[in-house]
Amino acid sequence: MSIYRQRGWDGVSDIHQAPAPGEAAAPEDAPSGDSSAGSQDWSKDRKARPVEYLLRLGEKWMDALPPDLFPGALATQYPRIVNFIAVQWNDRRMCPAYFEELLVDRRGGRQGFPAAVNRDLQRLRDYWQSVWS
């Protein structure tokens, strides 16, 4: 379960049970009168957004970097990414996978990061590889 989940901690509200045999499946909050799948507003059911500011963990991680690697553009424009890199920095499997996810367009046609942010990410990835290789 995500830490951003807005529903109850007991998990009961996250369980969806199949209807009993012969019972119609009818969602409780389905709009009345219009049964088309595209008409329901799902925005209230989405996960909470990650924090959009630099956490203390991210600050401490950046302070430990060599001064020439300070990711200023990344921290200013995408502090949530700095926080996430800081959490994964010592994980030899997850950190390189996250850099890959950030720097490689696997879906096609993505806009990508601004040049300064992309430079910060590439330098951090290269530094991580030099430290852990």
Residue numbers of the domain that contains 60: 56-132
Per residue in 24-77, pLDDT tens?
A: 544 544 444 455 556 777 666 767 777 899 999 999 999 999 999 999 999 999
Nearest to 46 by CA among 4, 96, 82, 93: 4
The whole-number average pLDDT for the span 112-133 is 95
This prediction's pTM: 0.64
Q: What is the mean pLDDT of the chain?
A: 78
Per-residue confidence (pLDDT) for residue 39, from 0 to 100: 74
- Within a domain: residue 3? no
- Within a domain: residue 44? no
- Within a domain: residue 8? no
Total number of domains constituting the chain: 1
- Within a domain: residue 10? no
